Amino acid sequence: MATLSDIGVAAAINILSAFAFFLAFAILRIQPLNDRVYFPKWYLKGLRCSPLANGAFVSKFVNLDFRSYARFLNWMPAALQMPEPELIDHAGLDSAVYLRIYLLGLKIFVPIAFLAFTIMVPVNWTNNTLEHSGLTFSDIDKLSISNIPNGSLRFWTHLIMAYAFTFWTCYVLKREYEIVASLRLHFLASEQRRPDQFTVLVKNVPPDPDESISELVEHFFLVNHPEHYLSHQVVYNANKLSELVNEKKKIQNWLDYYQNKYERNPSKRPLLKQMGFLGLWGESVDAVDFYTAKTERLSRDISLEREKITSNPKSIMAAAFVSFKTRWGAAVCAQTQQCRNPTIWLTEWAPEPRDVYWENLSIPFVFLTIRRLIVAVAFFFLTFFFVIPIAIVQSLANIESIEKALPFLKPIIEVKVIKSFIQGFLPGIALKIFLLFLPTILMIMSKFEGFISLSALERRSASRYYFFQFINVFLGSIITGTAFQQLNNFIHQSTNEIPKTIGASIPMKATFFITYIMVDGWAGVAAEILRLKPLIIYHLKNFFLVKTEKDREEAMDPGTIGFNTGEPQIQLYFLLGLVYAIVTPILLPFIIVFFALAFVVFRHQIINVYNQEYESAAAYWPDVHLRIIVALIISQLLLMGLLSTKEAASSTPLLITLPVLTIWFHRFCKGCYEPAFVRNPLQEAMMKDTLERAREPNLNLKGFLQNAYIHPVFKSADDDKIDVVMEEWEEEPSLIATKRTSKRSTPLSSKHGRSSFSSPEANKERSKT
């Protein structure tokens, strides 16, 4: 078990590591050579010029202003200077609200920590229960609830503090939910015109023997939304074409590389071996000719595949993007049931074009349920079997158990420095390593499930990541850690005494979580700002592949917030803070340092680095709120169980009220604020439509929406649009005969059914029929 000195060693290691990362970042960021790595967002916005273009030769690569090195921490106040409204304009609402999660942590835990250390820590410290308990403990554990004797009246202090902490957390959550909902509505009202405001995704279009999917979609919406339907774009299964396009990009990169190499030394043609991994064997061929031939072959394959997709009806999926003339019309369609049968003609808001995950649009609707069942089973086994590495990590945190099992290691382990390093630092870094590949696995699972937007993929992956961390990192660490820590007691005591031993030992696991917070939340956050991996990749690409300014921009890797990994990690700290605020308050200062440090670091990254792939207008906030509520309820239930093992029967019934009140509070917030995140008010849509008509009476909405939801692989540098996919807009609709004329007549605006515009004359004609 980690002692106070072990925690001190771990703190020293992590503080020095964080300082080293900050110092390295401060030096690297002011070097002209690294300017695009540490300020890529400004380059993408066109607001920053390369410092390599001017000045002396040496100053193009090395910063010779030695005074700037003395101000190596000036980036911290600079990161805090930008006001939130300006930050929203600069980086988007998603990024600005993401930072508010860190502020929320500070708002909750700073007052809680003050109360805990002024009231609860003295109550816990002034006892000597652990000294006579026979349990394995350290000096830190004397600050926990475990140091209070069973049945003591001092548990009333913890009961009162539980109510105080709950009420304060709920107040802050309500206030923050209200602020974020207001920011979202204001953002949507003031936001510039976007295609997704006018577009709905319709899925599970029923087959019809007389009409194609495109004709069926057009007829359905002309009949049921005659005044507002504008156009539609069917969804193609273009996954194979996308693979060919991606392969061509890779081959083109190699071709550029060898062409650059040949230009540097025209006297020698570059050669390569065309067989084996990385060309390790085979006949040597001219590299430029080889990749030129492959590029030309792939270009022909791409053209053939495009023609095959657009001419084959089986390539059209039972889904389409349907656009409307007004936001009001789109809101009505997206938020209502379209058909008597609730399983067909399913409509939802279309993701913004940047947010669409095109590969999943080709998955038939009927397969989605099967896919999600498979993923649910796979996730269960992944969660279950991950208990094994968690047990390994916990074994590292309990030296006494290792010595009993492997006595020949005792002379090495008992060396003070080695023992402090193992107990205070190694468990946290080991757990971090075990969790390294988990987000990638969870994202693959989410993609297999068939979600159609990047935001939905990240939110689903974040939800699973949080559940995984709760089961394995939190509960798994407590259970397995307690088993290792109190193994001797478990063996020699009766079965009835085991729950009491677990109850007394749970607060003692705070030392393990302290080490994890320092590794992940201190050193890990400091390492984030250094961007070592993007720095190395950029310089490798810049040296070997970059030949134009466009190539240099593509070599920059600004990255994104990484909501699928960042938000669940933050939620783990909320969970640890709320659970241990009552039982072991010593954990709280470490969490507060994390929230403060992470807020400054990620604010700097959002301002200067991250380039968000999409904008959901903080649609994820209900998930953030829900997970904090869940953490609060878990903390209350664990406290109830802990007090029951401590024979505090008089206080336990009063704690039952807390989960009930918390659930009621969540339902209250859900009813008051969540509609702003899941529905678009018709009043707001009509207001914006009215203002837009007044300001831009001659707006060509057809032209604005024409290219929005065309699959990216149908576009290339030399072919901006495919005629079969995108038709020219006609000025007036006309009545045409179809195979279903006997059933109904509908006005159509193009012979291929890509768009329609319902004029008053057409409406009169339709009413006659």
Closest CA to 417 of 2, 11, 9, 139: 9
Backbone angles phi, psi at 453, to 5 degrees: -135, 150
Token pair belonging to 495: 């079965």
pLDDT in tens, 609-660: 999 888 999 999 999 999 999 999 999 988 888 887 777 656 667 888 999 9
Q: Give residue 101's pLDDT.
A: 96
pLDDT higher at 506 or 133: 506
d(CA 255, CA 555): 16
Q: Are 102 and 595 in contact (CB under 8 A)?
A: yes
* pLDDT at position 438 over 60: yes
* pLDDT at position 731 over 50: no
Average pLDDT over residues 238-262: 85
DSSP H or E segment with residue 246: helix 239-264
Q: Other C-beta atoms within 10 Å of 169: how many?
A: 27
Q: Give residue 492's pLDDT.
A: 52
pLDDT in tens, 55-80: 555 666 677 777 777 777 788 898 99
Instruction: Please give the mean pLDDT across all residues of the chain.
Output: 81
Q: What value does the CA radius of gyration of the chain take, rounded to a whole number of Å?
A: 31
Percentage of the chain surpassing pLDDT 70?
78
Q: Give residue 259's pLDDT.
A: 83
Q: Give residue 756's pLDDT.
A: 36
pLDDT higher at 331 or 733: 331
Q: Give residue 139's pLDDT.
A: 67
Q: Give residue 737's pLDDT.
A: 44
Q: Are 226 and 758 in contact (CB under 8 A)?
A: yes
Q: Are 477 and 387 in contact (CB under 8 A)?
A: no
What confidence category does residue 253 fall into, taking pLDDT thresholds of 50, 70 and 90?
A: confident
HSE-up (13 A, CA, CB side) for residue 67: 0
Average pLDDT over residues 551-565: 83
- The residue to which tokens 């209900």 are assigned: 622
Torsion over CA of 356, 360, 365 and 366, rounded to 10 degrees?
A: -160
d(CA 92, CA 106): 22
Q: Give residue 252's pLDDT.
A: 83
What confidence category does residue 490 fall into, taking pLDDT thresholds of 50, 70 and 90?
A: very low
Q: Give residue 744's pLDDT.
A: 39
pTM, two decimals, is 0.83
Q: Give residue 62's pLDDT.
A: 76
Q: Give residue 457's pLDDT.
A: 94
pLDDT in tens, 674-703: 999 988 888 889 999 999 889 888 888 888
What confidence category does residue 759 fall into, taking pLDDT thresholds of 50, 70 and 90?
A: very low
Token pair belonging to 221: 């919406």
Least confident among 449-453, 502-506, 644-648 = 502-506
pLDDT in tens, 291-321: 899 999 999 998 898 888 888 888 888 899 9
Token pair belonging to 320: 């389409």
The amino acid sitting at 401 is S
HSE-up (13 A, CA, CB side) for residue 394: 25
Q: Give residue 409's pLDDT.
A: 65
Q: Other C-beta atoms within 10 Å of 72: how many?
A: 15
**Which range, 148-162, 463-477, 539-553, 602-616, is most confident?**
602-616
What confidence category does residue 387 fall into, taking pLDDT thresholds of 50, 70 and 90?
A: confident
Q: Other C-beta atoms within 10 Å of 269: how many?
A: 13
- What Å distances lie between residue 336 and 347, 356, 371, 669, CA to CA? 8, 22, 27, 24
What confidence category does residue 173 fall into, taking pLDDT thresholds of 50, 70 and 90?
A: very high
Q: Are 230 and 328 in contact (CB under 8 A)?
A: no
Percentage of the chain surpassing pLDDT 90?
35
* pLDDT at position 50 over 60: yes
Secondary structure (H, E, C), 569-613: HHHHHHHHHHHHHHHCHHHHHHHHHHHHHHHHHHHHHHHHCCCCC
Closest CA to 474 of 627, 640, 634: 634
What confidence category does residue 254 fall into, taking pLDDT thresholds of 50, 70 and 90?
A: confident
pLDDT in tens, 594-616: 999 999 999 999 999 999 888 99
* pLDDT at position 207 over 60: yes
Q: Give residue 554's pLDDT.
A: 78
